Structure 1
Amino acid sequence: HFRVEDIHYSNHVKISSGIKTVFLYRTTLFTKSLEPCPPTNVSAEVLCESDEMKISWQEASGAESFLVTVSGSDGLVKIYSTNQTLLRASLPCGQDFNVTVRGQGSMCNGIPSSPTFFKTAPCIPRGLATDAECGFDVGSVSWQPTDGAETYIAVATGLDGHTHRCISNTASCTWSDLHCGEEYSVVVRAKSNNCTSLPSNSSIIHMGMILTNENKKFAQVKETLSDHCFFPDPCAPQNLSATVNCDMKVVSLSWDASSGAKMYTVYAEAGNKSVSLNTNMTTASFTGFTLSSNLSLYVFIPGPCKPIGVSASQDCLTSIAVVTWQPSNGSDVYTATMQTDTGVCQTAGLSCSLNNLTCGSLYTVHVVAMGDSCSSVPSWPLKFNSIPCPPQNVSTQVDCSSNNLTVSWEAIGDADHFLVSLAAENGESELCNTTNTVCFSSNATCGKTFTVQVTSVREHCRSVHSQTQSIQSAPCQPQGIMGSVDCVTNSAWISWLDAPGADSYTVSGVAVGRNDYRANCTTFTNMTCEMKDLACGVLYNFSVLAKNSECESQPSAPISLETGTSVRAVFSHFS
């Protein structure tokens, strides 16, 4: 595309023939390109520990502004308009993107730059679940896989500030050097290239009791009987009593029955000799021990072990969460309980479905294993978020002069970000991805009606979309203005082409140099209008304005028409 900058006339030749004279000219046209050059040195800088990035480029000759197009691997496309050479944009975490920049001139757009590829910072890990095996100083944490993560860094921090660090390329980490009896706060960060995410919400590991001299032996006995798990009150037997029959060299032990207990494990130890037995009675006898030695006797109720490996997955469409866990020794039935009034799920399997979850809520679930005699202690609590709630009170506005659209809404509950869809009748669409509750769309196409829907996104789930709203951009500027004058009636007929988005038209006529001579005409259905009662012998400028319920268009390019002069007839009487 080129614009004529100058015209030089030279070497004219005069040719005369009869009453006609013709001048022939040779012309030289000086032109200038209207198309801006493509921007160069386009670069993208990811701002780690945030959802922002910076895109920059060098000035392009002929460009008055720039269009920046960002395309994501998940189909997201965002277009920005700016007159600067630096743009800050908020983009979803953990995605691959490419960006191109093209210059905008006064009449044409340039070709796009070569694409620049980048990856946003990894997403924050969520859904942490912790577990501990105190007898082995082992603690572990697991979490939901995170978009964009190549590795994870988990840090367990004790109450005194000492830390244990674990690096993993899977969604779990295990420490084997945690201190029994201590409490640890665990956070996880996702890492990709040179970018590390913000830390996750913290989760706690309780490492259980400290093995003092008084209880160390008790713990060692329980570890010896490691085929089962054993629990203190209310399951532990009470009021142990021992008697010795010296003649028979028999040691007898009795205790009170425990409510619901069907089986007891009795453990006896003296020196290097130890014996254990199971009984459904509340008495037990041992022989073969030297009576002069110190004899230690313990009674346990074997019960189910605490469920481990508890995890939750959610169906984003049905709001049903499925909780799963690993099997526990000694368990017959499991109960999964939510920390709300949603209800309790009981099953002999290894999963439970929890229904009718409220949107936008944080839930805590723990699982208990139940055996013949006792229930286990609860599993470590697992926290997860239900699906986000749809946004409410969506409102739309249009800036009539710039055709910029603004969509705002009210967030119900927490959301990671929001997706705003603006779709026109002809299939044009734009997607705005933002962490705010307002979205701006610049330079909307004139004469379009857009349907607007807003969706909340949290983790991997999207809400149902908001109630659909409609918004009209400003009508397009009327084109193809034509006119004619009726010299008898001094009326002017003005016509034009249909302007997309117009509900009505107003034609204005202003006399050149005579502002007091004005005429107006409005029509709702036609593309013609009659301007009546114009002044005689006056040059008028006529323009057409399109209107809809929201905006007025820019006035059309004016046309000029001159009305006729008045004619007075003089009659003479001849006799």
Structure 2
Amino acid sequence: MSSTSIRFQWSSVIGADKYFLVVDGSSNGERYNHSFTTLSGQVDGLTPSKSYDCYVYSSNQAGLGASSMTKTITTSINRVMSISMDYSCSSGVVTVTWGQVFGANFYRADAIDVNGTALSCTSASNTCQITMLNCGERYLIQVTAISFDCQSTSNTSTYFETVPCAPSQLTTYHECSSNVIIFSWAPTNNTNYYIATSLASDGQVVECHTKDTECFFTNTGCGHTYQYTVYAVSNCNSETSSPKHVRTSPCIPQNIETSAGCWSDVLITTWDKAAGALSYTVEAQGNNGDSYNCSSFTNSCAIPGVACGESLSVWITASDDDCTTEKELGEAAQTVPCTPTNVSASVDCSPNSALMNWTVSKGAGFYIAMAQHADGTVRSCHSPGPNCLIQGLTCGKTYTASVIATNMKCNSSQSQLVTIETGFCPPTNVSTSLQCDGNMGTVSWAAVARADMYLATATGNDGHTHTCSSNSTDCSFTDLLCSEIYAVTVVTIDRGCHSDPSPDVELRTV
């Protein structure tokens, strides 16, 4: 047990040449007598935290004078000499332990931060716990011993650091083209290094250990949402920061298909939804220089007003709130061919055919020309170029003709209608008669409406021929050979063109 001292002072007494100081601790059997020739003195070896009655006598050769007024003094308590502490990372509580001091009724332990703010606990034993400590602080621990009248603060102390605070001021930067993500935070006290964690929406976890206050995450995938957190590491690890979320660039759309409605001017594009995409933009470039576009929040998009006969290159991009993918090229698309124009029909001297002509139209692979009679009969021809010959028409009929263009997938609309008037039919009801005198033969037939004239031909067995013409319904052959069998036919003539010949009719000479 350490002892303590008291230093006294008193006023001078006239005639005194010496002073006697009495310190009486009768309660514990202590009594101290000291003589002094000065007006002050010190008494050592007193018991700490004890009360003493103190008074002074003056003296000279004549004897002792009266004593001074008694003053009761309590000695101070000794300081705590040893302090230890144990800090719990998980609870954030520090347990302080010290060596006990004689005479102390209880103790107060203080944790003092760099600003001088103290947190305390008290105990009648040699330990107590200080709670509510701040993270990231460096504390000075002192212990004060307290008696009823006195207290003494330890002249020894110890320091400790609390758990780092959870990192804050989190920021992220996302580079759209590479999907690199930079995660950063403000520095924290009492930290050796940091561990940042990336958690992808597919469950993949990546850690970054650094002494800096940022981490680069490079192996990120498109169309994912990433959660980033960080904690500080020292003797104690901090709590994990609040999460920071980042969405990477959308993935590139796949399986792009574009089709043009065969009966409309609408271009429809579809694709597989891309992970992370919130919207899409479709762009189409025609071979004639026209451009088209549309936007969609789903996986399809329709562009109206697309010109006929276009061969289109189609691109699609996917976007989220911050980033857009590079353009992805889909398959080329073709719109419906344009309708042929300037359609015309001409009938030559062949009564059963008509030559169709038109102007080449955009987007056409080839063309189909059709001629339809009122009875429903249809004849057609096709060609890669701007004309074709419709054959097999019936003579003496009126047909309505048109042309369509096709690209093997879609047909254009029908062109304007033109009228075809086929040539005259050959005469019917052809018959012959022979006038024996002179071997002259006569042929007759039924009239053909609007015919200009007729030509009859008699062909002998050896191939020689005789002809006669008429603008009525009969004519005669002269100078026929005797004993010959002739095949007789008649054609209708109109504006220089002949009909097909009528069926053969026999004529025998004698």
TM-score by length of 1: 0.49
Give the unaligned 5+ runs of structure 2. 1-85, 110-115, 123-139, 427-453, 457-467, 469-475, 480-510
Alignment of 1:436-447 (within 5 A): 436-447=298-309
2: CA distance between counterparts of 1:402 and 1:447?
12
Shift of 1:563: 2.1
1: CA distance between counterparts of 2:243 and 2:141?
41
2: CA distance between counterparts of 1:537 and 1:270?
125
1:479/1:251 CA distance change after superposition, 3 Å: same
- 2:97 is the counterpart of 1:241: yes
TM-score by length of 2: 0.55
1:416 matched residue in structure 2: 278
Matched to 2:334, the amino acid is Q
1:120 matched residue in structure 2: none
Per-residue CA deviation, residues 336-393 of structure 1 (Å, 9 max, x unaligned), is: 211243522222323211112122222110122234x233222211112121222333
Matched to 2:218, the amino acid is N
Shift of 1:325: 1.7
1:270/1:331 CA distance change after superposition, 3 Å: closer
Identity, in percent, stands at 25
1: CA distance between counterparts of 2:167 and 2:359?
75
- Contact 2:364–2:407 (CA under 8 A) maintained in structure 1: yes
1:65 matched residue in structure 2: none
2:341 matched residue in structure 1: 479
1:413/1:573 CA distance change after superposition, 3 Å: closer
1:237/1:247 CA distance change after superposition, 3 Å: same
SS at match of 1:406: strand
- Contact 1:266–1:298 (CA under 8 A) maintained in structure 2: no
2: CA distance between counterparts of 1:427 and 1:342?
49
Matched to 1:533, the amino acid is G
2:229 matched residue in structure 1: 366
2:258 matched residue in structure 1: 396
Alignment of 1:264-303 (within 5 A): 286=142, 290-292=146-148, 300-303=160-163
Q: Alignment partner for residue 416 of structure 2, among 544, 557, 565?
A: 557
Aligned residue pairs total: 320
Per-residue CA deviation, residues 222-242 of structure 1 (Å, 9 max, x unaligned), is: xxxxxxxx9853485776432
Higher Cα Rg, which structure: 2
- Contact 1:453–1:467 (CA under 8 A) maintained in structure 2: yes
1:509 matched residue in structure 2: 371
- Contact 2:260–2:267 (CA under 8 A) maintained in structure 1: yes
Q: Alignment partner for residue 569 of structure 1, among 455, 459, 462?
A: 455
- Contact 2:194–2:211 (CA under 8 A) maintained in structure 1: yes
- 2:391 is the counterpart of 1:532: yes
Matched to 1:243, the amino acid is G
SS at match of 1:469: coil
- Contact 2:89–2:163 (CA under 8 A) maintained in structure 1: no
- Contact 1:242–1:252 (CA under 8 A) maintained in structure 2: no
Shift of 1:544: 0.6
- 2:362 is the counterpart of 1:500: yes
1:305 matched residue in structure 2: 165
1:331 matched residue in structure 2: 191
- Contact 1:510–1:542 (CA under 8 A) maintained in structure 2: yes
- Contact 1:243–1:251 (CA under 8 A) maintained in structure 2: no
Alignment of 1:101-120 (within 5 A): none
SS at match of 1:507: strand
- Contact 1:249–1:288 (CA under 8 A) maintained in structure 2: no
Shift of 1:409: 2.6
2:57 matched residue in structure 1: none
Matched to 1:361, the amino acid is H
Report which stretch shifted further, 285-294 or 496-505: 285-294
1:475/1:245 CA distance change after superposition, 3 Å: same
1:506/1:451 CA distance change after superposition, 3 Å: same
Per-residue CA deviation, residues 516-547 of structure 1 (Å, 9 max, x unaligned), is: 3x310012x22210112322222222211111
SS at match of 1:496: strand
- Contact 2:247–2:276 (CA under 8 A) maintained in structure 1: no
Per-residue CA deviation, residues 419-464 of structure 1 (Å, 9 max, x unaligned), is: 2222222332222222222212223211112233332211111234
Alignment of 1:175-190 (within 5 A): none
- Contact 1:342–1:356 (CA under 8 A) maintained in structure 2: no
1:406 matched residue in structure 2: 268
Q: CA RMSD in A?
A: 3.7
2:55 matched residue in structure 1: none
1:544 matched residue in structure 2: 403
Matched to 1:338, the amino acid is S
1:526/1:427 CA distance change after superposition, 3 Å: closer
1: CA distance between counterparts of 2:240 and 2:87?
12
Shift of 1:469: 2.6
1:343 matched residue in structure 2: 206
SS at match of 1:565: coil
Matched to 1:515, the amino acid is G
Shift of 1:558: 1.6
1:454 matched residue in structure 2: 316
Shift of 1:304: 3.3
- Contact 2:285–2:292 (CA under 8 A) maintained in structure 1: yes
Give the unaligned 5+ runs of structure 1. 1-229, 254-264, 272-283
1:449/1:519 CA distance change after superposition, 3 Å: same
1:477/1:285 CA distance change after superposition, 3 Å: closer
